[in-house]
Structure 1
Amino acid sequence: MSRPDRTSDRILVAGVGNILLGDDGFGVETVRRLATEQLPEYAEVVDFGVRGVHLAYELLEGYDTLVLVDATARGGEPGTVYLIEADSAGDIEPETALLDGHRMSPDAVLALLGTLCAGTGTRPPRRTLVVGCEPAGVEEGIGLSPPVAAAVPEAVRLIMGLVRDGRHESSAPPAAVGEVAK
């Protein structure tokens, strides 16, 4: 597969979540570990934590692909890693995304981004992927549960594959719920 011009095909890997709510810290811990890996120059890894507004404004800097890393409750076994292609901001109304800058879900961030891009000539990322992990619990407390902690290296490998192998460019469908793309 030929490599695209990386001056326009930038990738942002964004860890989101609250480390004070147990497994909700999955995205933050995953990008912390991912930051120790040697990444291609066109890929950037950032821990946004609960700073959703900052993530939306960062995306205005021009990224082709966004990889959100977050705890993702989809009904599977705790520790299950998901790769999900996000096709829209969902049912969030853009004006509701502005209400609370510290408690914005990824859907709300994408809705806010749509509002910020409107009329500016800026475009949102062409593709948004979510690397999620089924949480065991998101109650108050610091630290991941054992199954979610064990899933962090798996998520790091998945993201490294997406970034290094250029899979963010392919039209291949993401792994089905409960499967992990290798």
Structure 2
Amino acid sequence: MRRVLVAGIGNVFLGDDGFGPAVAQHLVERGDLPDQVRVVDYGIRGLHLAYDLLHGVAALVLVDALPGDDAPGTVTVLEVDDVPAGVGLDAHAMDPATVLATLHRLGGTLPPTYVVGCRPANLDEGLGLSPAVAAAIPEAVAAVDVLLGKLTTEGT
């Protein structure tokens, strides 16, 4: 069986940046994930995620708030092809580029990686998601489910 890690990332104290942890919490509470899938709310613990990836996973799904010009609440699925160049090691940073660059610097290799992202409306200090981003959680969960269906059946 393939082992897939779903990583909710983001700072719950910065409004919509808590999107990744909210989706991870929803997936865990739903309770119907395949045995070969592990969901973790990493919050802002980027170095922890990088070290967990060193132990090896077949695939990684990052869930995060992503900047962009789309309307707040827009969900996007991206495939990550390579570790970004020129990103430094920062034990406190949680953005996907820094985590993946840290993994590379620690001697790890990037598994097939996807990002399920949502355009934020508000990244100011404060708890809670904006209405547009909170309403996007079901769409993001569905996108993760599609990826998990693909990633847990490939090669079986």
TM-score (norm 2): 0.92
* Aligned mates of 1:107, 1:25 — CA distance in 2: 18
* Aligned mates of 1:11, 1:107 — CA distance in 2: 19
What does residue range 103-182 of structure 1 map to in structure 2 within 5 Å?
A: 103-117=93-107, 123-125=109-111, 127-163=112-148, 165-167=149-151
Partner of residue 72, structure 1: 66
* Aligned mates of 2:73, 2:110 — CA distance in 1: 30
Partner of residue 61, structure 1: 55
- Deviation per residue, 1:28-54 (Å, 9 max, x gap): 100000112311111100000000000
Partner of residue 18, structure 2: 25
- Deviation per residue, 1:103-140 (Å, 9 max, x gap): 231101100101112xxxx5331x11000000001011
Partner of residue 180, structure 1: none
Task: List alignment gaps of at least 5 residues for structure 2.
Answer: none
* Aligned mates of 1:139, 1:47 — CA distance in 2: 21
Query: For 1:24, what is the secondary structure of its paired residue?
Result: helix
Task: List alignment gaps of at least 5 residues for structure 1.
Answer: 1-5, 171-182
Judging changes above 3 Å, is the alpha-carbon distance between structure 1 residues 130 and 169 closer, same or farther for their aligned structure 2 residues?
A: farther
1:89 aligns with 2:75: no
Partner of residue 44, structure 2: 50
Judging changes above 3 Å, is the alpha-carbon distance between structure 1 residues 89 and 168 closer, same or farther for their aligned structure 2 residues?
A: farther
Query: For 2:150, what is the secondary structure of its paired residue?
Result: coil
* Aligned mates of 1:168, 1:106 — CA distance in 2: 22
Offset at 1:68? 0.3
TM-score (norm 1): 0.79
The residue type equivalent to 1:116 in the other structure is L
RMSD (CA atoms):
1.6
- The count of corresponding residues between Structure 1 and Structure 2 is 153
| Larger helix percent | 2
Q: Which runs of 4+ in 1 moved over 3 A?
A: 167-170
